[in-house]
Amino acid sequence: MSGALKARVMVKLSAFMNDQQNLSQNLGYQKDAKLLIIHADDAGLSQSENKATIQSLEQGSVNSFSIMVPCPWFYQVALYAKENPNYDYGIHLTLTCEWQSFKFGPVLSAKEVPSLVDNNDFFYKSRKELIENANPKEVILELRAQIDRALHFGLNPTHLDSHMYSLGASEELLKIYHELGEEYKLPIMLNKTLVEEMSGLKDLLINSSQNAVVDQVHLGNYEEFKIGNLSKFYENSLKSLMPGFNLLLIHPAFNTSEMTSITENHPNFGAEWRQIDLDFFTSKKCEQILFENNIQMITWKDIKRLYYP
């Protein structure tokens, strides 16, 4: 499609958007369609994560992912994203590093964003520490630097989301998240339940005329993992999907020595968990379930086209 034609189609799509219709209809589906993005978080974190993310895209059912700019393997996955522009990928805005032995910090220097780093110049481990310490101006500076580095690299991201959903953890951070979306004309991943869980607050402003809000986020939980039920949880989630905008968040990686070391003493979203994610979402079974349940795979690119034509 030529640039001009593409632009016209986009304007048309945009015009087609109608408040009377729901997201499904605006995307060209039935009103009660079960829309789904299967999204791999944490690309760039490690070699194992990159390799598994790529395998899940090429040979599996994952159809979107997001990239952690401050992480050591950013370059490799960013190059892949640039060379494979058909895939849907966003920026996994990063302000925390939850690991025990493996640490990363801001793209900017510690001196430029002192409120975002611990005593060793790395990101804080928890959302709690982040909220207690972060200066909002420095949050904006650092997140702009992350997005700008990705753009400068030649990336063309489809969305923004947030590592550990830290940007949903306070009203102030949520506001910054909204502003960044509007500034860069990118949809941000918003979900009411997640915001409530992260912030402990109800009714924080998450709606936006500039954005589609995810109706249901599906994320494995530690209880299911502990009893060996993670694949079953994914299976059930897919089989019982409700109509609307669904987002299934996974973290595929190989259970290697690298990944075991990164996730040391952190079985929640640890190396074993991530291998299960990889295995399930590259299985024939998963493909079959998606097909049999009449699930419509959408992407953030589709959302972006609607809201930022």
Per CB under 8 A, residues contacting its own copies are 46-48, 51, 71-76, 79, 101-104, 107-109, 112, 120-122, 145, 149, 152-153, 254, 256-258, 261-262
* Bridge partner residues of 36 (DSSP): 246, 297
**Min CB(256)–its own copies separation in Å:** 6
CB of 262 to its own copies, least distance (A): 7
Tokens (6 digits) for 256: 């290697």
Q: How does DSSP assign 136-203, residue by residue?
A: HHHHHHHHHHHHHHHHHTT---S-EEEGGGGGGSSHHHHHHHHHHHHHHT--B---HHHHHHHHS-SS
**Pick 33 or 262: Cβ nearer its own copies:** 262
Contact 250, 41 (CB under 8 A): yes
For its own copies, the closer of residues 77 and 195 by Cβ is: 77
Are 252 and 59 in contact, with CB atoms under 8 Å apart?
Answer: no
Query: Residue 75 CB, nearest distance to its own copies (Å)?
Result: 4
CB of 99 to its own copies, least distance (A): 9
Closest CB 219 distance from its own copies, rounded Å: 26
150 vs 194, beta carbon nearer its own copies: 150
What is d(CA 194, CA 206) in angstroms, rounded to the nearest whole number? 11
Q: How far is CA 166 from CA 130, 153, 235, 274, in A?
A: 8, 25, 27, 21
Q: Judging by DSSP bridges, how do beta strands 216-219 and 244-250 pair with one another?
A: parallel
| Closest to its own copies by CB, 49 or 88 | 49
User: Is the distance from CB of 188 to CB of 177 less than 8 angstroms?
Assistant: yes
Q: What is the rounded distance in angstroms from the CA atom of residue 162 to the CA atom of residue 43?
A: 12
CA distance 258 to 227: 25
User: At residue 41, what is the residue type?
Assistant: D
Nearest approach, Cβ of residue 300 and its own copies (Å): 24
Tell me whether residue 13 or residue 141 sits nearer to its own copies (CB atom).
141
Give the bridge partners for 92, in sequence order: 161
Q: 120 vs 207, which CB is nearer to its own copies?
A: 120
Q: Give me the least distance between CB of 43 and its own copies, in Å please.
A: 14
Which residue, 34 or 51, has its beta carbon nearer to its own copies? Answer: 51
